[in-house]
Amino acid sequence: MIKTLLARAHQGHRTLAWPDGPPPELPDRFRGLPAIDAARCPDGCRACADACPTEAVSLSPAGPRVDLGRCLFCPECAEACPEGAISFTRDYRLSVRRREELVFSGEPLPLATSLETELRRLFGRSLRLRQVSAGGCNACEADVNVLSTLVWDVGRFGIQMVASPRHADGLLITGPVTRNMELALRKTWDAVPEPKIVIAVGACAIAGGPFWQSPEQLGGAAAVVPVDLFVPGCPPHPATILDGLLRLLGRLEKDGRVAAR
């Protein structure tokens, strides 16, 4: 008992001050929002698009575009580029409300807006989510789980992962949705009472991730249910997931970090 108390004193208070205080420190090699400098692209160069394992990079006359929904942040494109026209910043804020908004060409990303008034009134201070893992590699699940540790402590925002879909306000889905999970996902979705929302976490749940060409998966959650929030990454950093959730709940607007739309 004494040892437990001593350990408690030594281990200390570890909950992040963010979002009221500074954001968590991310490692220098962290790969968040890409930076694209199309002016550097040599004529006719396709190195980035050719290197990408998921065809996330497309080339337009205005320069390369990265579909953050497909992107694995791997970073083959940045390594392949002879001129450093694609690199990765440490900006962890990546979540959006609509799939097409993830195609990034260097313009500011239209970060997620909050839920509509009525849903926000219902869920803004209390959001219960049922997580469904549907063919992912368990890394997204791991970093969703991390949000419930005392470091991130999502409980302080009224967010909780619950056991039963009947107790949930929505689903948080990871994985590309395997054919073998399609039925279970549908049944879980049906069991959530209306009104309900869906959050797709990770490259798999948005676009199939590394498995995008596999016939045993459906290319993401949107193939089965309507998605309200897309959180890119492979896997997304816990900060990216929490940032997305808080934006969806309208909890980050006051600090002025929500991009204007």
Q: How far is the C-alpha of 98 from the C-alpha of 189, rounded, in Å?
A: 20
DSSP 3-state assignment of 86?
Answer: strand
Site for ligand SF4, residues 19 to 58, rule: CB under 6 A: 51-54, 56-57
151 binds, among ligand SF4, another protein, none (CB under 5 to 8 A by kind): another protein
Q: How far is the C-alpha of 70 from the C-alpha of 59, rounded, in Å?
A: 15
Whether the link from the prior residue into 61 is cis, omega within 30° of 0, is: no
User: Tokens for 5?
Assistant: 């108390």
User: Which listed residue (32, 41, 73, 221) binds ligand SF4 by CB under 6 A?
Assistant: 73
Q: Of 100, 125, 94, which Cα lies nearest the Cα of 259?
A: 94
Binding site for another protein (CB under 8 A): 3-4, 7-8, 10-11, 14, 26-31, 51-54, 72-76, 130-146, 148-151, 161, 163-165, 175-176, 178-181, 183-184, 188, 209-211, 213-217, 234-235, 237
The 74-103 contact track toward ligand SF4, x by CB under 6 A, reads xxxx--------------------------
Give the residue with the Cβ less far from ligand SF4, 57 or 225: 57
CB of 4 to another protein, least distance (A): 5
Give the residue with the Cβ less far from ligand SF4, 38 or 74: 74
Q: Of 189, 141, 175, which Cα lies nearest the Cα of 161?
A: 141
77 binds, among ligand SF4, another protein, none (CB under 5 to 8 A by kind): ligand SF4
Contact between 224 and 218 under an 8 Å Cβ cutoff? The reply is yes
Instruction: Give the number of other Cβ atoms within 10 Å of residue 81's Cβ.
Output: 22
